[in-house]
């Protein structure tokens, strides 16, 4: 694991640092807007278009904020912590909205919430022991699956009648399983540290 001893003072003084962090945090209000449109949109076609546009923007910021930070030397432990936080909140809101509009089963956002709380506590253990709290491979896989799944769920009503409603449940359970499995790596590292500290 990487050591948690990086000094972020110089990074935070760079002009682009605030811009990168703003891109990350923007996912939260955008996801809230997505929720409002999904729940209160009256025109079906307009609601779908606006929902799609917001998902594209949200996923764009998620895909490029980290790349921009690395490209211009704006990475920091603060940013590494903020990014998964914004991801968790925004995706939880998105999938809650999708569950409310019957695009996925309600167990999906519930499992996501439990997973994120569990991982958050695991990250606390890691941070207290000077270990990195940045996203792990399993977390990145989970994020990719959830991102793709949100688009598939959004367009579900357009293809369920053609390929069968089984796809609704298949997508929901794939999301649940991948989300659940992505917590294991974090919990395992946290438990290893806790056991080590006992001796």
Per-residue pLDDT averaged across 7-30, rounded?
70
Alpha-carbon distances of 153 from 112, 175, 185, rounded to whole Å:
15, 11, 27
For the stretch 123-140, pLDDT in tens is 888 777 766 655 667 888
Q: What is the mean pLDDT of the chain?
A: 84
Query: Domain for residue 154, yes or no?
Result: yes
For 102, the 3-state DSSP assignment is: coil
Query: Domain for residue 124, yes or no?
Result: yes
Residue 5's pLDDT is: 42
- Classify residue 167 as exposed, middle or buried by CB count within 10 Å of its CB (0-12, 13-18, 19+): middle
Query: Domain for residue 4, yes or no?
Result: no
The total domain count for the chain is 1
For the stretch 167-187, pLDDT in tens is 999 999 999 999 999 998 888
Query: Domain for residue 1, yes or no?
Result: no
Task: Look up the CATH number of the domain holding residue 53.
Answer: 1.20.120
For the stretch 136-165, pLDDT in tens is 678 889 989 999 999 999 999 999 989 999
Q: How many CB atoms lie within 10 A of CB 84?
A: 21
The label of the residue with tokens 């110089």 reads 10
Residue 199's pLDDT is: 54
Per-residue pLDDT averaged across 37-50, rounded?
95
Residue 4's pLDDT is: 37
Query: Domain for residue 3, yes or no?
Result: no
Residue 39 has pLDDT above 50, yes or no: yes
What pLDDT band is residue 69 in, cutting at 50, 70 and 90? low
Domain that holds residue 95: 9-197
Query: Domain for residue 51, yes or no?
Result: yes
């Amino acid at each position: 694991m990487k050591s948690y001893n990086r000094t972020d003072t110089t990074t935070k003084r760079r002009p682009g640092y605030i811009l990168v962090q703003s891109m990350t945090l923007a996912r939260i209000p955008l996801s809230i807007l997505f929720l409002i449109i999904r729940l209160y949109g009256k025109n079906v076609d307009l609601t779908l278009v606006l929902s799609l546009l917001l998902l594209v923007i949200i996923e764009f910021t998620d895909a490029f904020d980290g790349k921009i930070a690395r490209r211009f030397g704006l990475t920091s432990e603060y940013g590494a912590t903020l990014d998964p936080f914004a991801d968790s909140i925004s995706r939880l809101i998105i999938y809650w909205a999708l569950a409310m509009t019957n695009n996925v089963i309600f167990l999906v956002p519930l499992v996501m919430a439990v997973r994120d709380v569990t991982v958050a506590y695991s990250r606390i253990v890691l941070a207290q022991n000077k270990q990195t709290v940045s996203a792990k491979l399993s977390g990145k896989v989970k994020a990719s699956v959830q991102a793709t799944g949100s688009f598939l769920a959004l367009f579900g009503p357009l293809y369920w009648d053609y390929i069968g409603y089984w796809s609704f449940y298949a997508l929901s359970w794939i999301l649940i399983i991948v989300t659940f499995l992505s917590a294991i790596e974090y919990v395992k590292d946290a438990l290893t540290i806790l056991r080590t500290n006992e001796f």
